[in-house]
């Protein structure tokens, strides 16, 4: 499809395991964002990429969380030594760096639901 694609849609893992979540942005979108959403709350910013580089990673909660975007397109969010508190929906969004309609619109995927047992 033409939208932001996230895989897996659901991931169940055990405490202490390593997890990777993948985001495939809209073609041509140079900006990419990761958000985390806990039940009943709004999405919480994690990290922002411009091209291949992380321009703002101030939302990553600790050093167990890491994200990469090596070729400026697909991004992977990596979580080491998962904890039960990491359970949430992880949302990815992409946008144009220069939006001709000047909306600054972020296009979100449907998210990856992570459950840590």
Partner 1 sequence: DAKTTQPNSMESNEEEPVHLPCNHSTISGTDYIHWYRQLPSQGPEYVIHGLTSNVNNRMASLAIAEDRKSSTLILHRATLRDAAVYYCILRDMGGYKLSFGAGTTVTVRA
| Residue ranges that bind partner 1, judged by CB under 8 A | 4, 31, 33, 35, 40-45, 48, 50, 55-56, 91, 93, 103-111
User: Are 12 and 115 spatial neighbours (Cβ–Cβ below 8 Å)?
Assistant: yes
CB of 45 vs partner 1, minimal distance in Å? 5
Partners of 36 in the β-ladder:
44, 90
Q: Minimum Å distance from CB 108 to partner 1?
A: 3
- Please return the burial class of 79, using the count of CB atoms within 10 Å of its CB with bins 0-12, 13-18 and 19+: buried
- Through-space distance between the first and last CA atoms of the chain, rounded to whole angstroms: 32
Q: Which is nearer to partner 1, 56 or 83 (CB)?
A: 56
Nearer to partner 1, 55 or 81 (CB): 55
Closest separation between CB of residue 15 and partner 1, Å? 25
* Residue 51, beta-bridge partner list: none
Nearer Cβ to partner 1 (31/67): 31
> 45 or 66: whose CB is closer to partner 1?
45
Smallest separation (angstroms) from partner 1 to the CB of 16: 28
- Residue tagged 């994690």 (tokens): 46
Hey, what are 17's tokens? 């395991």
């Amino acid at each position: 499809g033409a939208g932001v694609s996230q895989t897996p849609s659901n991931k169940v893992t055990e405490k202490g395991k390593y997890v990777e979540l993948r985001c495939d942005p809209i073609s041509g979108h140079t900006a990419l964002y990761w958000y985390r959403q806990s039940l009943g709350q709004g999405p919480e910013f994690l990290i922002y990429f411009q091209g291949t580089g992380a321009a703002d990673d101030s939302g990553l909660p600790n050093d167990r969380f890491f994200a990469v975007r090596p070729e400026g397109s697909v991004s992977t969010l990596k979580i080491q030594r998962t904890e039960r508190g990491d359970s949430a929906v992880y949302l990815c969004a992409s946008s144009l760096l220069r939006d001709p309609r000047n909306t600054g619109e972020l296009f979100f995927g449907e998210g990856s639901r992570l459950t840590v047992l």
